[in-house]
Amino acid sequence: MKLNCDDCVNYKYDEEYEGYVCTVDMDEDETARIMTSTSRECPYFVNSLYN
């Protein structure tokens, strides 16, 4: 599954990791469910173009 995180307001640059990370506070189960889902949409996606 390919998620388009680049346009999401929850996708921020983290200086500690020196890269972009998802800032949504998900537990391990939620993360696994999203990554293994057949759906192509993230339930936490908010388009940055509209905010």
Confidence band (pLDDT; 50, 70, 90) for 35?
confident
Predicted TM-score of the model (pTM): 0.68
- Tell me which residue range forms the domain holding 39: 5-50
Residue 22, beta-bridge partner list? 11
pLDDT at position 3, please? 64
pLDDT at 12 over 90: yes
Total structural domains within the chain: 1
